[in-house]
Amino acid sequence: MTIRDLESTPKSWNTRAMNEFSLSPEQKDYRAVLRAFAEDKIGPNAARTDEEASFPWDSFRACVAMELPALGLPQAFGGSGADHVTQAIMVEELARVCASTSLTMLISKLGMIPVIYYGSDALKERYLPAIARGEAQASYCLSEPDAGSDVAAMTTTAVRDGDDYILNGTKCWITNAGISDTYTVFAKTDPKAGHRGISAFVVEADWGVKVTKLESKLGIKGSPTGEILLENVRVPKSNLIGEENRGFYIAMGTLDRSRPMIGAQAVGIAQGALDFAVNYIRQRHQFGRAIADNQAIQFMVADMATKIEAARGLVYRACTLIDDDPDGELGRFGAMAKYFASDSAMSVVIDALQLLGGYGYTKDFPLERMMRDVKITQIYEGTNQIQRMVVGRSVVQSSS
């Protein structure tokens, strides 16, 4: 079954009573389909992907066969047009067995969010169909060596030259560096204007994008992270996303829409850790009985399960806002979902590893990989400290 098999009832993506945070029957069916698929086609590759620190091409191709890259893209440009809760379900189920593979589905959508929401129809027509078919991949290039949370400090420039822009600068922490076919690059078109002088561009890899460094990372090793160099890269004016000098607002709007999916990734990793640990404690016997029968162990499991469900509910609420109220409370709830889910997931995975004792500390079991993988969810797309600032400022301002 693919995503298109579920399109016989077109309203299924949107007929959900999310005020009560319940899933539609179609969404429940889709979770079951994705879980079986992920366990059969993705999970068996996870340990090798981590060990080899290589892009999971076999898993990616399996996802393409399931039409997963199309899930979150508009139907008018080759996508399936699924709502964001359904997209979160997909991310959860992939992350439950392989965080690296879940990121391969997240990153191209992230790279194309500026095009989807702010780009011209010509840009959408040029780039979205290939992404939807899994024939191309995209990256998002915002951070620089001296401009992480402080986006306005970026030094990459875009200088107008006739019908083109000439881009120069370095971008770092770029997910999918060297794999992607396009890079959504943010650069200063008015260097004196601070954050009001940033613009966004779609830059094709073969226009001169150079990968100068690949990071050696703690986790999610199947997804390359690197530094790219732009030296006099010529980009046609038609590849400007939206209006000139509106790039900061495009970047922030993009992250508001993508952070709930990082929360979904964290929830998926945590769910995978809990499921594995519970299966283990049911089978592991000490002092003549399964350790799952110990009340202290059950209390740990109860706390873990509760954290996951609370995080999932917050992620789904943020996802509904992407579809229903993107200009309202999305910034606040997207930040909440991202930091609460990732903090909760970190706690759950550590406790899951503890339940395995010494075995959890070895590579014979997936918990040590999950612990390394989940950490990045507290860092990328805005550290959790920054997310707390976003939430706190929003609450204080709305209460004044």
Torsion angle of C-alpha atoms 260, 266, 272, 278, degrees rounded to 10: -110
Q: How big, in percent rounded to 5, are the helix, strand and coil portions of the chain?
A: 60, 15, 25
Nearest residue to 142 via CA among 190, 195, 184, 202: 184
**Distance between CA atoms of 347 and 341, rounded to whole angstroms?**
10
d(CA 36, CA 5): 16
Under 8 Å between Cβ of 190 and 196:
yes
What b-and-e string marks burial along 32-61, b requiring 16 or more CB atoms within 10 Å of the CB?
ebbbebbeebbbebbeebbeeeebbeebbe
Tokens of residue 192, six digits = 């004196």
Dig out the tokens for 385 from the structure.
Answer: 């400290």
Residues paired with 143 in a beta bridge: none
**Active-site residue flag, 381:** yes
**CA 389 from chain center: how many Å?**
21
Catalytic-role residue among 92, 144, 204, 381: 381
164 strand-pairing partners: 161, 236
DSSP, collapsed to helix, strand or coil, labels residue 102 as helix
**Residue whose tokens read 């006099």:** 232
Q: Is 56 left (phi over 0), alpha (psi -120 to 50) or beta?
A: beta
Q: Hey, which residues are catalytic here?
A: 381
